[in-house]
Amino acid sequence: MFAKVLSRTRARVARALYDQGAETLPGHNYRNLLLSGAWFGPLDGGIFNYLPVFVARLGASATTVSLLTTGPSLLAALSYIPGGAFAERHKDQVRLVFRSAMISRLLYFLIALLPLFLGLKSVPAAVIVLWSLQAIPNAVQFPAFMGVVQRAVSAKQRPRLNGTRWALMSMASGTSIAIFGFLLDRVPFPIGYQVVFAISVFAGLMNMYYFSKVVVPPFISNRSHAPSSQHTLARVRAFLRPFTESRRFMRFSAANIAYRLALTLPAGLYSIFWVRNLQATDMWIGLRGTTGYAALVLGYWFWGRMAGKLGHRRMLIICGAGQAFYPILTALAPSMQWLLPAAVVWGLTIGGIELGLFDMLLAACPEGRQPSFAAAGSMTTSLGVMLGPLLGAALAQTTAIPTALFAVGLLQMAATAGFLLLPSREEEALA
């Protein structure tokens, strides 16, 4: 019912905007995408940031914490291609994003309720199952989202929109992390975490409310359908052929998977290191997050304006090399206070990486095939994100966590060489 009301409202808004002229619509979309991003901040600063800490405080091992990343990535790797194909068959992709996101929000709410129905020892396994299941609706949501963003504003506006949108999201995330950390240190465990996760769900609903106001023309797919008389294997080959024939997409995929693998190696190690090695409180973990997100705001703002001057390849190499110092500085931290300068390095560099990879993926998607190609690109990301944390946890079992983090930093620095496969600034201008 709610989705139908939003759909009718969006149709009326679209008619009004088209009647007022073509210049009104991009501004309307720009504003609502910004507001949507701002409301994603408390969701990111809440359940996304504190769920690994919650599981670590329940006594989970590094391998178990790593499954919070590996589990969703495994399902995502299996779901993105069919999810992208499903998204490409829908004309109203804003509505499709909204419906898919509602399923994810429901799973987050169920996670908040788990301590009411399960013993605390059983909660980590249930959290991993529910957190992993969100990958299925997300495999439809993200390809459709990419198709919407590509048509909601012009290519010239997009880098600035993404930089500003993600900067707003980071400000909201950083503020939320600090507030939630303060709350968690003062509310009995696990009630404080349940409250934080419930607030995250509300913010996620508001995030989708503003996104549902974005207006784009109906999506028209350029995908050629294989004849129904063909054998199933032949139809699968016909579906996959465009991905392998696009040289730009294959080069992006190779660089992307290599870097994502290295970037996610320490995903299951940070929370364990903070909690057990440094004895960090939730308030200090929150302060570390707030500091990182404050730096991320500057990073998004700065790199969103520098992308056009430097070119995305050069920006990715600079930021990738800088990001490698984050696990190294974390490993060298003698106390929790030293997590703050490490967080600044993370924030200033990860923004350029996310902006660069996002725009490079969009540039690698042919017109009319954005959902499927975005899904295929996300599948390669998921493969790297799935394997990275498991390899990082295995590394930590053979040596101390600080040593593993230091080694990871060196591997991340080496992985930036893959960005040399991406188009240069001159090649981007000719595309």
Amino acid at site 80:
Y
Is position 228 within any domain?
A: no
Who wins on pLDDT, 71 or 367? 71
Is position 159 within any domain?
A: yes
Q: What is the model's pLDDT at position 385?
A: 77
pLDDT tens digits, one per residue of 76-124: 878 887 887 788 787 888 899 999 999 999 999 999 999 998 888 889 9
Who wins on pLDDT, 77 or 391? 391
Who wins on pLDDT, 234 or 264? 264
> 210 pLDDT band (50/70/90 cuts)?
very high
pLDDT higher than threshold 80 for residue 12: no
Report the chain's mean pLDDT, rounded to a whole number. Answer: 81
Q: Are 63 and 393 in contact (CB under 8 A)?
A: yes
Is position 289 within any domain?
A: yes
pLDDT higher than threshold 70 for residue 306: yes
Is position 6 within any domain?
A: yes
Entry pTM? 0.70
CATH number at residue 114: 1.20.1250.20
Q: What is the model's pLDDT at position 13?
A: 45
Give the CA count within 13 Å in the CB-facing half-sphere of 182: 6
Q: What is the model's pLDDT at position 422?
A: 81
**Burial class of residue 413 in the structure, from the number of CB atoms within 10 Å of its CB (0-12 exposed, 13-18 middle, 19+ buried):** middle
3-state secondary structure of 311: coil
- Residue identified by tokens 């804003």 is 94
To the nearest 10°, the Cα dihedral for 58, 61, 62, 63?
Answer: -120
> 426 pLDDT band (50/70/90 cuts)?
low
Handedness of CA 115, 118, 122, 124 (dihedral sign): negative
Average pLDDT over residues 10-15: 48
Is position 233 within any domain?
A: no
Q: Can you tell me the distance from the alpha carbon of 142 to that of 211, in angstroms, rounded to the nearest whole number? A: 13
> 17 pLDDT band (50/70/90 cuts)?
very low
Number of domains observed in the structure of the chain: 1
pLDDT higher than threshold 80 for residue 334: yes
pLDDT tens digits, one per residue of 226-238: 444 455 566 556 5
Full residue range of the structural domain in which residue 415 is found = 2-213+240-430
Tokens of 235: 């139809």
pLDDT higher than threshold 70 for residue 75: yes
Is position 100 within any domain?
A: yes
Q: Are 406 and 269 in contact (CB under 8 A)?
A: no
pLDDT higher than threshold 60 for residue 20: no
Least confident of 4-8, 49-53, 173-177, 315-319: 4-8
Q: What is the model's pLDDT at position 246?
A: 72
Reported as type and span, the H/E element at residue 404 is helix 401-415
Is position 223 within any domain?
A: no
Average pLDDT over residues 280-284: 82
Is position 222 within any domain?
A: no
pLDDT tens digits, one per residue of 33-42: 889 989 998 9
